[in-house]
């Protein structure tokens, strides 16, 4: 079983920047290996790159898939599958592996990446991309606050989300209304396929850190509640960011080129993940890139 403490989630923007700069996946693997880390990707990353295959920059997307093939990362099971597995674990204490150990032989991923790197874009993949785009839009359109926002804003200052989050889980031990909000959040994000009872919600709250994907799911809802006006759903980009953070739930590190994402959304929704900032400097005749541990800065 893969240990979570050496899996680093690679944000899509890291792959994009390195590919455009002509840096090989071997160089990134070497840099990660020096930190005893192994690259990991989520299925949503494949989606984000695939969008470019049919829109703005198909050649760049092909190169990104070639980069991924060379990178040979771990693949994380889709977050919707992980939710189902965690709920099964909640009910029966069953064990599972959140990572696909050999993506070349699993679910056609390896074949798809090979096709994409050659610019081949099968019809079934186009349909799947349309389904993912529809799902993101559906999440946005169906989003509703899980709590009474006006009362919440009177109680907490704008920079007190972490206090708000901790208070919510603490009060959920006694408050059935808050547990119902947890039930509703899980139900909504699984299209009604995962419905837990009040007693299961209570057990989940008591052991919340043992269920990373469910914890991140609930935290995302609380995050949107806290920072979004009641009459306006979060933006599509926020839902995309939340999907990346969900996919990273079983990783110990998150590598991104977006400092704001690391300092804000990631830190507040999943503080157990160590944020790593990727940067690249272009000099005459060479490209320099590195990783900065910004944990102390964002604490």
Determine how β-strand 99-100 pairs with β-strand 274-283.
Answer: unpaired
Number of helices and strands in the chain (H, E): 16, 7
Q: Which pTM does this prediction carry?
A: 0.86
pLDDT for residue 21: 86
d(CA 159, CA 151): 16
In sequence order, the 6+-apart residues with CB closer than 8 A to the CB of 268 are 161, 162, 165, 219, 223
Q: What is the predicted pLDDT for the residue at 286?
A: 53
Which pLDDT score is estimated for 105? 46
| pLDDT score, position 251 | 95
Residue-by-residue DSSP string for 137-150: HHHHHH---SS-HH
pLDDT of residue 110: 64
Provide the 10 A C-beta neighbour count for residue 286. Answer: 7
How far is Cα 257 from Cα 254, in angstroms, rounded to an integer? 10
Query: Which pLDDT score is estimated for 295?
Result: 55
From first to last of its 299 residues, the chain has per-residue pLDDT tens of 445 668 999 999 999 989 988 888 999 999 899 889 999 998 888 888 877 766 778 888 888 988 998 998 888 888 888 888 999 999 998 888 888 755 554 455 666 677 677 766 666 666 666 777 777 777 777 777 666 666 676 788 888 889 989 999 999 999 998 899 899 888 877 666 678 999 999 999 999 999 999 999 999 888 888 887 656 777 888 888 888 999 999 999 999 989 889 988 998 999 889 999 887 776 644 556 677 776 544 44
Question: For the chain, what are the domain ranges?
Answer: 4-298
Tokens of 85: 């597995």
| Residue 228 CA from chain centroid, whole number | 20
Using CA atoms, how far apart are residues 168 and 77, in angstroms rounded to an integer?
28
């Amino acid at each position: 079983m893969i240990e979570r403490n050496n899996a680093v989630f690679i944000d899509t923007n890291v792959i994009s920047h390195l590919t455009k700069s002509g840096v090989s996946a071997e160089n990134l693997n070497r840099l990660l290996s020096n930190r005893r880390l192994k690259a990991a990707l989520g299925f949503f990353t494949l989606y984000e790159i695939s969008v470019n295959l049919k829109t703005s920059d198909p050649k760049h997307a092909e190169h990104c898939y070639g980069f991924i093939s060379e990178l040979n990362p771990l693949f994380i099971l889709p977050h919707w599958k992980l939710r189902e597995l965690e709920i099964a674990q909640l009910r029966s204490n069953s064990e599972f592996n959140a990572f696909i150990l050999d993506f070349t032989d699993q679910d056609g991923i390896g074949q798809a990446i090979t096709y994409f790197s050659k610019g081949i874009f099968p019809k079934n993949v186009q349909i799947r991309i349309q389904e993912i785009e529809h799902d993101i839009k559906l999440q946005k359109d169906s989003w509703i606050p899980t709590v009474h926002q006006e009362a919440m804003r009177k109680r907490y200052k704008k920079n007190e989300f972490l206090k708000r989050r901790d208070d919510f889980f603490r009060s959920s031990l006694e408050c059935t209304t808050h547990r119902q909000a947890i039930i509703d959040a899980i139900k909504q994000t699984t299209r009604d396929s995962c419905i837990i009872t009040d007693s299961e919600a209570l057990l989940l709250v008591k052991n919340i850190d043992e269920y990373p994907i469910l914890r991140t799911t609930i935290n995302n809802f609380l995050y949107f509640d806290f920072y979004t006006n009641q009459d306006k759903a979060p933006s599509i980009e926020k839902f995309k960011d939340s999907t990346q953070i969900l996919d990273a739930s079983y990783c110990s590190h998150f590598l991104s080129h977006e400092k704001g994402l690391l300092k804000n959304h990631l830190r507040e929704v999943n503080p157990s993940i160590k944020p790593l900032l990727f940067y690249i400097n272009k000099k005459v005749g060479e490209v320099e890139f590195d990783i900065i541990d910004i944990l102390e800065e964002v604490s």
